[in-house]
Amino acid sequence: MKAVTEFFDRSTHSRTGNQLLSSQGRFALLVSIAVLAVAAPIVQMIHPFWLNLMVRMMIFALLALSLDFVFGYAGLLSFGHAAMFGAGGYAAAIVITEVTPHALVVLPIAVVAGVVIAALIGWLSVRARGIYFAMLTLAFAQMFYVVAFTDLPATILDRGSVTGGDNGLYGIGMYELFGIDFTSTLMYFYLTLGLVALSLAIIIRLANSQFGRVLQGIRENEERIEFIGYDVQRYKVVGFAISGGFAGLAGGLYVPFQSVAHPGLLHWMISGELIVMLLLGGMGTLWGPMLGAGLVVLLEEQLAGFASWEIILGGIFVGVVIFAPRGLAGILISLRNDPGSAVENAKQAVRDYLEAVRG
């Protein structure tokens, strides 16, 4: 337990995120995006399943990115991000079914749904700190889960169905945009890639702005930031709402692709998986949690055939805690800065862990 607590502390106060904003980091991101764009048709020719998996990996990468912005930078540990993800997904499903499937209408509404839910949860929760904030966000998220599961909106509006209850909404149509056929997985891949890249660029810009620096200051010393005149509560709520907007966008991309919106999208298990993605990737780096999300989605898919695949995934997580407390991002940065010391660092991490256990 002590080792896990120390892992949270080291990850939360990491400075590796500054590496992303260098010219070298920006170039690496552009190259990665270009490689994905070029590789997509090749992957589809090999097997369409892998392209489908890549789309899901990118969607959860966006969801992990949204949480890292508010957790890695403001130190607000949210166990309720599934609420914004599900809200965006349900908003997209209802608008597509009842109004229009036009992407320029549906996706902004999904973003707004995430912002509204996040602003509400944030406004009611940011006065609490640490684990109390996390538990409040979890409680509110589960309330929204119950609302969707019991189809409470249908009861209030006296309609037959709104959320579909425990069955959810099925047969959700695909987006329309300038005559593009998004029923093609390849076209949906490019739509998702473009939106994820745009979201990453926006969040990097925000993180490197005065607003982002204030959020980092709040994480480091909230009292000092408040003393010099900043409205800490407002910054927290706004940061949480921005994070919720990107989570809503992820939900808006996920639901049409899967053709279903169900209460499980709002369940706390989604939020729990997000925390694992952040820890594996490296909190506060933005791009690290995206790698972590892709790895978790890939492992869940590949290990699903094993009876105890959760144990295997848990073992990988424990290994990261011991050998790489800064996650995948920390490994890559260490290899870039000092490749020769990578093995020695791993050995030192094992020794430190064993000493902590014995002590």
Rg (CA), the chain: 20
Averaged confidence pLDDT in the chain: 84
Residue 338 lies in a domain: no
* CATH code for position 254: 1.10.3470
Residue 164 lies in a domain: yes
Cα–Cα separations (whole angstroms), residue 19 to 27, 35, 333: 12, 21, 8
Residue 335 lies in a domain: no
Q: Provide mean pLDDT across the span 69-79.
A: 86
Residues 55 and 185 sit within 8 Å (Cβ to Cβ): yes
Q: With the CA atoms of 269, 274, 279 and 284 taken in that order, what torsion angle do they form, in degrees rounded to the nearest 10?
A: -150
pLDDT score recorded for residue 109: 97
Domain that holds residue 22: 17-291
Residues 283 and 11 sit within 8 Å (Cβ to Cβ): yes
Residue 98 lies in a domain: yes
Residues 14 and 325 sit within 8 Å (Cβ to Cβ): no
Residues 335 and 342 sit within 8 Å (Cβ to Cβ): yes
Residue 310 lies in a domain: no
- Evaluate if residue 213 carries a pLDDT over 80: yes
Q: Of 250, 108, 246, 91, which is closest to residue 172 (Cα–Cα)?
A: 91
**How many distinct structural domains can be found in the chain?**
1
* Per-residue pLDDT reduced to its tens digit, 9-64: 444 444 444 444 567 677 788 888 999 999 999 999 988 899 999 999 999 999 99
Tokens 């990996």 sit on residue:
57
Q: Residue 8's pLDDT band (boundaries 50, 70, 90)?
A: very low
pLDDT score recorded for residue 319: 77
pLDDT score recorded for residue 333: 74
- Evaluate if residue 95 carries a pLDDT over 80: yes
Please tell me the distance from the alpha carbon of residue 275 to that of residue 169, in angstroms, as a whole number. 27
Residue 216 lies in a domain: yes
Lowest mean pLDDT across 210-219, 256-265, 326-335: 326-335
- Evaluate if residue 148 carries a pLDDT over 50: yes
Residue 349 lies in a domain: no
Q: Residue 136's pLDDT band (boundaries 50, 70, 90)?
A: very high
Q: Provide mean pLDDT across the span 158-186.
A: 87
Q: Provide mean pLDDT across the span 328-350.
A: 70
What are the tokens at 308? 């105890």
Residue 136 lies in a domain: yes
Cβ partners under 8 Å of residue 13, min gap 6: 219, 220, 284
